Chains A and B, each alone.
Chain A
Amino acid sequence: MKRLTILAAVMVLCVGAWGVFASGGDSQTPSSQVGPDGKKLDEVGYNPSAAAQLAESTRIMLGERTLKDYHKKIHQNGNNCQLCHSGEAPTAPPDDANCIRCHGTPQQMAKVTAKLERNPHNAPHYGTYVPCTTCHKEHQPSKVLCADCHSFTFENFKK
């Protein structure tokens, strides 16, 4: 139990430091919202500015994210994380389901590229089971998985 207590204490310190960091030294975040035991968080209820705060703190935590021109309109220049990530503070690649809403299913995508000599959406190694974000990245340069072993390229692949 001692270890748990120590850990909890360290977490309190961390959270304190984080609060200062996240708000740039200006303590805008009410201390009631950041109780390390989580108890006070729910009492505040839903706060509409919280989403923006959260997006902001996530941005600080993750660093400035690069964006691709062709998606800028859709995610409102990076202000709508939820659209792709289904969450306000994304730390994981989005689920394919969110790509599929606009781009079609992997099977449909495989048909779109079926005439290419090598169909990236239906490769002999993985079939149609490659998650979209394996190759297509929004916040970093995109890179085809095939390139790990093969030197062929795809002309229309947006980096």
Chain B
Amino acid sequence: MRKKTAHSDKPKGLHRRDMLKAAGIAAGSVLFSQMTVTESKASTLKSDYWDREFDVIVAGSGFAGCAAAIAARREGASTLVIEKMPVFGGNSAINGGAMAVAGSPLQKEKGIEDSVELMMADMLKGGRGTNHVDLLRVVCAGTAEAFEMTKEFGVKWKDVLLQFGGHSVQRTCQTVNFTGGDITIPLMEGGIKLGAIYKNRCKLEKILTDDSGVITGVLVRENYDFPNEESGVLRRYKINRGFVACTGGFGNDIPFRMMQNPTLDDTVGCTNHSGATSESFHALLAVNAAPVNTASFQLGPWASPDESGFGYAPQFNQQAAFPYGIMVDIRDGKRFVNENADRKTRADAQLKHCKDETGKIYYPVAFCSEPGTVKSPTVKYALKEGVAWKFDSLEELAAHFGIPLEPLKAQVKRFKSFVAKGKDEEFGKPIFDFDRSMYLDKPPYYAMRAWPKVHFCQGGVNINTKAEVIHMQSRQAIPKLFAAGEITGGTHGESRLGSCAIAETLVMGTIAGKNAALNKARSRKGE
């Protein structure tokens, strides 16, 4: 009765699809050889038939997945990376390419003192102290090494250090084209060179277990045509050593998102790629992975209502208007938050201050002077696409957005005096002497509207410092199951600081891939 596991707990929809497919094949008749029919039947119905076999299977091809594949190959495991989308890279590919590194060569060069402890302290503060400190320590301590790893595979970094909200020092490095694709492409090529196989349009449907609950493989949908759940064919892949879930967040899964937090309906934008949905999270829960903080969605306060998805605004606001300029409420021309606070503080403030009783939104405006845009390479594109505007005077800016002029003038004057003093007396934004020339001063001004979009899932499955997924009942590691990246929860507590995602995903992805590959001895004993 081993076959029982194979289909007794299969969701009902799957039955129907299988039958439809079988019906199609039979009706389609003779060109399909008997072998095709038997194979497709065997592969979906029998629990002892496997279509393919690998030591390690990684699901997801973002930062974590790429790092895991490299690490697994370096330990000599045969490695397959499956990606459900047609393109590789997941949400990482459209990420802003900014990575926080504690103790980077660039920091040393610029005489900036930083440490693992300081980075942990910043992230703990941002996370409201609810971070899983053991994971946090591993991540922060691993950043310098992960950064070197990227360089080894040819990732090119700019010679500039940035300071994102919530960080107490400048510790964020950014890739030359300011996008995560600068990292995912070389890491994927590096992984392939080392012998990993990358397979796109291949969706994880289910983690398969034997009678005793030990993971044996995965059920996947090959030739999956996102988001058509009827597309493709089901196949069973056997896993010898470990399955590594690097399947990312579920911020763009609106029904699931609303189940966790009904206020995050489809009127709330999202910076994620369209594939950031929750099926893989369900698959992990189905094998008893413990969930953490599932309702903790981070809203990115720097997104723009004038473009869809991630777009150009986050980089302009994060690297120009927020650190060096001000953000004002258009109804009174006044600031209402430290523009460089952590993301939760800022998004909460926007939602609280810029909506009236009827729910009408008054999008706040963030702007800075021209020197402030030096570190924001996307500003020229943003201007062209109508996401940012350039104004030759405050009058022009005020008129365009309908901001009362006199209070706005007074606010700018106040902020300029804070810059001169080196101290923001209103909201305590850090003001750096060595960047003094970049702060809000003369026209022309560059402005953008800023409004929160769902950006990141702090929640996910629980892992330990070896990236092993924890069983929700036994609280022990689930054998052969590993996870890394946004699909895991805990590291960032209630709010992740900007540029800490690449840090986390690369560090934990490497650990997960390595430990999955080294799992040889134990999985043999288990068999």
Contact = CB atoms under 8 A, between A and B. Distances in A.
Interface in A42-82: 42, 44-47, 50-51, 53-54, 57-58, 61
Contacts of A1: 1, 3
Interface residues of A, number: 53
Interface string A121-137: 00111110111011000
Contacts of B384: 152
A125 B27 contact: no
B474 interface: no
Interface string A1-33: 101100100110011011100100000010001
B268 interface: no
Most buried by B among A3, A22, A46, A150: A150
B34 A29 contact: no
Contact of A151 (B33, B45, B307): B307
Contacts of A102: none
Nearest to B7: A3
A138 to B, nearest CB: 13
Contacts of B233: 91
Given A4-B45, A58-B28, A150-B311, A93 B37 contact: no
Interface in B4-38: 4, 7-8, 15, 19-20, 22-24, 26-34, 37-38
A93 B225 contact: yes
Contact of B24 (A10, A18, A44, A53): A18
A112 interface: no
B94 A149 contact: yes
B307 A150 contact: yes
B308 A152 contact: no
A99 interface: no
B168 interface: no
B223 A54 contact: no
Interface residues of B, number: 57
B86 interface: yes
A54 B94 CA distance: 41
B455 to A, nearest CB: 13
A37 B354 CA distance: 65
A18 B34 contact: no
A125 B94 contact: yes
B33 A14 contact: no
Given A57-B28, A126-B87, A131-B87, A38 B307 contact: no
Interface in A102-142: 123-127, 129-131, 133-134
A59 B145 CA distance: 55
B294 interface: no
B27 A15 contact: yes
Nearest to B311: A149
B8 A3 contact: yes
B30 A33 contact: yes
A58 B86 CA distance: 23
A41 B182 contact: no
A155 interface: no
B87 A145 contact: yes
Nearest to A36: B26
B34 A38 contact: yes
Interface in B95-153: none
Contacts of A50: 29-31
Nearest to A33: B29
B27 A34 contact: yes
Interface in B158-185: 177, 179-182, 185
A73 B468 CA distance: 55
A7 B26 contact: no
A151 B88 CA distance: 22
Contacts of B274: 148
Give the 4 A-B residue pairs with the shortest CB-CB distance, closest first.
A149-B309, A92-B223, A125-B181, A38-B37
Interface of B: 1, 3-4, 7-8, 15, 19-20, 22-24, 26-34, 37-38, 41, 45, 86-89, 93-94, 177, 179-182, 185, 188, 200-201, 223, 225, 231-233, 273-274, 307-312, 381, 384-387
25 contacts: A1-B1, A7-B45, A11-B19, A14-B22, A15-B27, A29-B27, A29-B29, A33-B30, A36-B26, A38-B34, A39-B34, A41-B29, A41-B30, A42-B34, A50-B29, A50-B30, A54-B31, A58-B24, A91-B231, A93-B225, A124-B181, A126-B181, A130-B87, A131-B86, A152-B385
